[in-house]
Structure 1
Amino acid sequence: MSSFISAGTANSDTSDQAIENNGFWPAIQPSDFRERHRLDGTITSARIEGALLTAVAMVNRLLRHWQAEQVEAGYPTVDDIPVPVWQTPGAYLGLYQRAVFSTAHASLMERYADYDATNSGRERGEQLADPADAYRRDAAWAISEIEGRPHSTVELI
């Protein structure tokens, strides 16, 4: 006779500290990232923090020209930017968070793929490549939306 005993999932670490930002964009809350992307405590706070710090740096670099234009136009923070009439309030902040969270999640997926060096680990890594790419696409689209660009760029080869 066999039985299944669920071990459950680890609880998320509540000691996550906010990731400070550059003043134009608000601080990033790791607990928001954990909740929105359904990440439990099996991913340590240190890994979450590292992924979010890297994602913030990357997204801020990609948006540096757009941010400079907004500051020059007299909007010192993202909350000060008037929202176009066709857009919902808080759209820029939501898109920014999506870009940061998606970038961080893609990074975590790629790092956890190498956790198991066995053949099954390699196969799992290959299966995780597509979802990681989808998160990176989500981040790129969010950045394009902030900048008012189309989602795709086509070049002739």
Structure 2
Amino acid sequence: MSLIAAAPSLVRTTPPSDPAPLGKVTAGAWWPEIDLAALRDAMRLDGTITPQRLLPAVQEAVAATIGQLADWAKSREEEGHASLAAVPALKVDGESINVQRFRRAVHCHAKANLIERYSDYDTTGRERRKDQDEAREDQAEHHRRDATWAVRDILGVSRTTVELI
């Protein structure tokens, strides 16, 4: 006689087909809105990041990204552009590359914030190792780099980063 017992998974995931909407983060009519479900899917965030944790991380990511683009956006508004999408730019798949880069910057900032804030959360109950902490720090830095590159691409400035050794 054999028994196969299946325990519920330790990590709850939210499949893309989940009809429960997570909402959107908006920052005025000029900036694109950020769909939380799309961000969760794009950045591979599972159910361990609850909507209550996700929302403030995304709000901060939107604020940080807009803060970096504030002077540039003001100049574009003074030129008469009604939104970021209205600023002349290459379109990929029918959408302004500036909008895509704004979204990428917000997504990457949010993921980096979440990695840093919840790096001590381990659903398996195992003790964390130092190399896991270093891997998380590296991952957060890679996301911050990608966010910075997206912003710099919108601004039209070089991505070059110089580090003193």
Shorter chain as denominator, the TM-score bin is: 0.7 to 0.9
Pair 1:118–1:41, CA change in 2 (3 A):
closer
User: How many residue pairs end up in the alignment?
Assistant: 155
Aligned equivalents of 2:152, 2:4: Cα separation in 1: 51
Which of 115, 118, 122 in structure 2 is aligned with 1:112? 118
What is the correspondence of 1:8-157 to structure 2 with a 5 Å cutoff?
Answer: 8=9, 9-12=11-14, 14-84=20-90, 88=92, 89-115=95-121, 120=128, 122-154=130-162
Letter in 1 for 2:74: A
Pair 1:130–1:81, CA change in 2 (3 A):
same
SS at match of 2:81: coil
Aligned equivalents of 2:130, 2:121: Cα separation in 1: 9
Deviations 1:101-144 (A, max 9, x none): 00000111111212259851654222211111000000000000
Aligned equivalents of 1:121, 1:23: Cα separation in 2: 45
Aligned equivalents of 1:156, 1:126: Cα separation in 2: 21
Give percent identity, aligned residues only. 32
Structure 2: stretches of 5+ with no match in the other structure: none
Aligned equivalents of 2:97, 2:52: Cα separation in 1: 29
More strand by share: 2
- Deviation (angstroms), 1:10: 1.8
More helix by share: 1
Q: CA RMSD in A?
A: 2.7
The answer to whether the 8 A contact 2:26-2:34 is kept is yes
The answer to whether the 8 A contact 2:116-2:136 is kept is yes
Q: TM-score, normalised by structure 1?
A: 0.85
The answer to whether the 8 A contact 1:21-1:28 is kept is no
